Structure 1
Amino acid sequence: MSTSPEPLRALVDDAAVFPPGNSPLPEAVSAHARHRASAYGGCVGPLLVPASSADALLAVLDAGGWTGRGPLDLGVVARPGTDPAVLREGLAVLAADPRVDVRGAELGWTAGWRRLDLPGDLPLALEVPRERAAQDEALADVRAAVAEGDAVVAKFRTGPTPTWPWPPEDELAAFLVAATTARVPFKLTGGLHHAVRGTYAVDGVDEENHGVLDVLVATAAALEGAPAPEVAALLAVRDARALADLVLAWPDATTRRVRAAFTAYGCCTVTDPLTELADLGLPTSA
């Protein structure tokens, strides 16, 4: 069994300030420093912040809110429907400050995203539409950009919002199959708070959640050409021990291939999935 955290390395982007966590920005920055300094720090990606919060973030830094070593790693997010100018302005403000290191940006996909005058070398995640034809168009566009050497990934929402119902197994499976068939790397966002598929209480209300291990195993199957119904069946598995044993048994080549496809996901409660994964024997520290 591997003793390195490679299956989970930089897997969980810190989305503490986004729903349902809604952590105040000063608390999120302080907590992120603790995450990055912890034994599981290698599994944690950048802190995700709304593009509209750029000035507020720098005010937190002015007040001494960042206590981590080196610059604060950030991902700057403009959710679908946000005016791209907000993202451009936020990136310009943050890029000028040496106390932060902007690692990537996120934006809703549109057919004209290449004309948005964003920094050309900045990794970009484009949230794809839900409707099948539009999603196929977006994935084809992202594939073309990747083929041209752009650092672009597709992004799909796995948790509910007021306007986006929770996507069931067959819908998520269809996305995984489409993305892997098109050889498009992807990240996920929302709802992946637990190691395994289940029904969990969120603010006292039971909600369906996809599981991190389910997605890893389903991605591996999709990469091997499994059809969507088979991928959906893997996403429905609720046996955490069985899924963990599968991932722990992966050869290094499988781990690298899966993580090249499934690059990261945003989670507002970083420690919840990582604690569960560690309890199942997944390595979370080097």
Structure 2
Amino acid sequence: MTRLSDAAAPRPAEPGLFAGLVDDAAVFPPGNAPLDEAVRMHRVHRTSWYAGLVGPLLVPASAAGDLVPLAAGADADPLRVAVIGRPGTPVEQVVDAVARLRSADGVEVVGVERGWEPSWREAPDPGVPLTLEVPRGDAQVEAVADIAADASDNRPLQAKFRTGATDTWAWPDERELAAFVRTAVDQDLGFKLTGGLHHAVRGSHDGQEQHGLLNVLVAVRWALNGDDVDELVPLLSERDPGVLVPHVTRMSAADAAIVRAFFPAYGCCGVTDPITELAALGLLEEHA
């Protein structure tokens, strides 16, 4: 097994492969940062050398009221946020949160995420990219196809799949994740992931199995090239960074662009976790 320090790339990857990839989910488990601390640190991230890799701050719909005074009057650019309603959150709560934040000073709502259900179209169109978290099992294929039926350049829609374990959601293994990626690509539908993607490479961390960010990027690239589920599973299972890094550095700017068109972002409660490992692998060009 090659250590991260020994697997460093001879040159950085295409910058577009990581631009805006890591959404800031600091307030969500397992990070559970207080909202004021999450806002403070998000502003730090947005002024750091890696700012271009960091997406919006993800905010629960239930916290919209608490966010308003934290964003108001700040001597900074508007706080870019995505409003999150976990599956089971009433749609009305998400709609109200979006309206409240849009009327607040210092906030820019750039996305909305909530659970998929057959009646999702009955809610008002938020006018920003809408991401719908899909279930697992047979219902997943139906949900992905249903979302894809309405997705267009004029209506940005995405699916979302949970890659980390919770008390009610068992960790999805490589085959389950591969099947989701294959289904989304077959439906020509972009997707986000959430949970568990703290590390660059697949492995066991803190006693838990976790997928690797590089594994996912490589698997998406090869899914777009036509690989089936059986061929994607070994890519998602690979634990050696020395195997994955060459796959990544061989991606051209065009490869990176299409991979990111399908996999635009994922939520991570510790955005510096994957960024630190990507830097250690020589895949990022650090600058002051």
- Do they fold alike, i.e. is TM over 0.5? yes
Letter of the 1:239 counterpart = D
CA-CA distance at 1:285 after TM superposition: 4.9
Structure 2 CA distance for aligned equivalents of residues 280 and 44 of structure 1: 18
CA offsets 1:198-241 (integer angstroms, 9 cap, x no match): 0001xxxx000000000000011111110101101100001113
Change (3 A) 1:279 1:174: same
Q: Which runs of 4+ in 1 moved over 3 A?
A: 1-4
Structure 1 CA distance for aligned equivalents of residues 13 and 150 of structure 2: 36
Structure 2 CA distance for aligned equivalents of residues 164 and 51 of structure 1: 21
Structure 2: gaps (5+ residues): 1-10
Q: Output aligned runs, 1:136-151, within 5 Å.
A: 136-147=141-152, 149-151=154-156
Determine the structure 2 residue equivalent to 1:85.
92
CA-CA distance at 1:148 after TM superposition: 7.2
Alignment partner for residue 30 of structure 2, among 20, 27, 31? Answer: 20
CA-CA distance at 1:87 after TM superposition: 0.1
Letter of the 2:132 counterpart = L
Residue 73 (str. 1) matches residue 80 (str. 2): yes
CA offsets 1:29-63 (integer angstroms, 9 cap, x no match): 0000010100000000000010110001113235x
The TM-score normalised by the length of structure 1 is 0.93
SS in 1 for 2:164: coil
CA-CA distance at 1:98 after TM superposition: 3.1
Alignment partner for residue 126 of structure 1, among 107, 128, 132? Answer: 132
Same amino acid, percent of matched pairs: 50
Change (3 A) 1:285 1:182: farther
Contact in 1 for aligned 2:71/2:105 (Cα 8 Å): no
SS in 1 for 2:264: strand
Determine the structure 1 residue equivalent to 2:265.
264
Contact in 2 for aligned 1:160/1:190 (Cα 8 Å): yes
SS in 2 for 1:37: coil
**Cα RMSD for the two superposed structures:** 1.5
Determine the structure 2 residue equivalent to 1:110.
117
CA-CA distance at 1:249 after TM superposition: 1.4
Change (3 A) 1:251 1:96: same
The TM-score normalised by the length of structure 2 is 0.93
CA-CA distance at 1:281 after TM superposition: 1.1
Determine the structure 1 residue equivalent to 2:198.
193
Change (3 A) 1:148 1:115: farther
Structure 2 CA distance for aligned equivalents of residues 96 and 130 of structure 1: 36
CA-CA distance at 1:4 after TM superposition: 5.5
Determine the structure 1 residue equivalent to 2:57.
47
Contact in 1 for aligned 2:190/2:261 (Cα 8 Å): yes
Contact in 1 for aligned 2:198/2:212 (Cα 8 Å): yes
Structure 1 CA distance for aligned equivalents of residues 225 and 71 of structure 2: 46
Aligned length: 277
Structure 1: gaps (5+ residues): none
